[in-house]
Amino acid sequence: MSERSCHKCKESKPDDMFRYQRRGGSALANYCSDCRSECSGDERLKRQVKGQTTRARSLGALATLTVEQWRSVLEASQGKCYRCHTDVGIDNLTLDHMVSLRAGGAHSLENVAAACLRCNQSKNGGFVLLMEGTELRSRREGLGLDQKDLARLLSVSTNTISRWELGHMAIRGEGAIALALERLESLGIKAVKRRINGPYKQANKGHT
């Protein structure tokens, strides 16, 4: 069997590795099948990043993600969806913004993850499931807050906080909850306590 040299990897390989189908019959390509597959994968990554970059800019969102960064995210995923942990293979993973572009998220390495199509399409209000009840409880206690205090700060009922922490109810709008907790944590425990004992306390007195 005759051989030819691949223009990309420069290796000599059998003609069959260069053969592809086109209208009217088969032909021989300049790249071997392995390199053609690699190039096809590269183009797919470029399209994913470029498409979302264009969308991010149209929404006024920060857009800094590079193809190499997205490739590193995919490789780190080992083909598993970061949300449901199902192994769907790297080629079937989609680029997902943990906080959506419309909700103010950035098209950046810190805000992207590899998700299966089903999870990517099942967002609730622009956010994906990021937090479980145990994390919510740990962060609440780290701020020195009881459930009633956190409920006031998040404008939800104490019963809702309790059910979230016990896992009896899914945390809705968890991306927004996570952002709110980050802001509180950046203030520090003393500042959070002042906020609880300030306007919230005065507001409650007005209703007694």
State yes or no: pLDDT of 31 exceeds 60: yes
pLDDT (0 to 100) of residue 208 = 38
pTM over 0.75? The answer is no
Domain residue ranges of the chain, discontinuous segments joined by +: 3-31, 40-120, 133-205
d(CA 27, CA 168): 61
pLDDT category, 197, cuts 50, 70, 90? confident
Fold of the domain spanning 40-120: DNA Binding (I), subunit A (1.10.30)
State yes or no: pLDDT of 172 exceeds 50: yes
Which CATH architecture does the domain made up of 133-205 adopt? Orthogonal Bundle (1.10)
pLDDT (0 to 100) of residue 117 = 82
Q: What is the pLDDT of residues 53-92, one digit of tens each?
A: 998 898 888 999 999 999 899 889 898 988 888 898 888 8
201 Cβ contact partners less than 8 Å away, ≥ 6 residues apart: none
pLDDT (0 to 100) of residue 23 = 53
Average the pLDDT over each of 10-14, 109-113, 122-126, 154-158 and give the range with the smallest value. Answer: 122-126
